[in-house]
Amino acid sequence: MLKIRLKRLGAKKNPTYRIIVINSTTKREGRPVQELGHYNPKTKVMQLDLATAQEWVKKGAQPTDTVKFLMANCNPDGTLNYKKKETVKLSKKAQAKKEAEEKAAAEAAAKAAEAPAEETVEA
């Protein structure tokens, strides 16, 4: 059975991977049937021949979970569609301060909305 999986390259604690088609009984660093691209998890740089990978899947090659994820999040040109998380973790003090500022701003907006309404009723 053929598998589409990652082949590890690079130095210690600095991995880079090649996305390859290989026989499932062959060792990880063995000779591949075909190389489909490369992936660097540290810089989130990927280049994948998506059309060829999909052809191999149609022929019966089984992608690993990681390769399935990479294929699903791949742009048509073969680059990774990576979206960096925009949420920033705050400490408890910073969260409390932010909530207090938001509450004060909401109260000020509510007072500003009520004041013009009262003035128009009196006139």
Are 51 and 109 in the same domain?
A: no
Q: What integer pLDDT is reported at residue 80 of this predicted model?
A: 87
Are 24 and 68 in the same domain?
A: yes
Structure tokens given for 13: 């604690």
Q: What integer pLDDT is reported at residue 2 of this predicted model?
A: 92
> Which residue range is the domain that position 52 belongs to?
2-72
pLDDT in tens, the chain (123 residues): 999 999 999 999 999 999 999 998 988 788 899 999 999 999 889 999 999 999 999 999 999 999 999 999 888 888 888 777 777 788 889 989 999 999 999 888 888 877 765 555 555
Q: What integer pLDDT is reported at residue 118 of this predicted model?
A: 57
Are 22 and 5 within 8 A, CB to CB?
yes
Instruction: Examine residue 78 and state whether it is found in any structural domain, yes or no.
Output: no
Are 39 and 67 in the same domain?
A: yes
Q: What integer pLDDT is reported at residue 16 of this predicted model?
A: 95
Are 68 and 91 in the same domain?
A: no
Are 63 and 10 in the same domain?
A: yes
* pTM of the complete model: 0.65
Residue spans of alpha helices (H) in the chain: 50-59, 65-72, 92-122
Q: What is the spatial distance between Cα 55 and Cα 69, in angstroms, rounded to a whole number?
A: 17
Q: What is the spatial distance between Cα 29 and Cα 19, in angstroms, rounded to a whole number?
A: 12
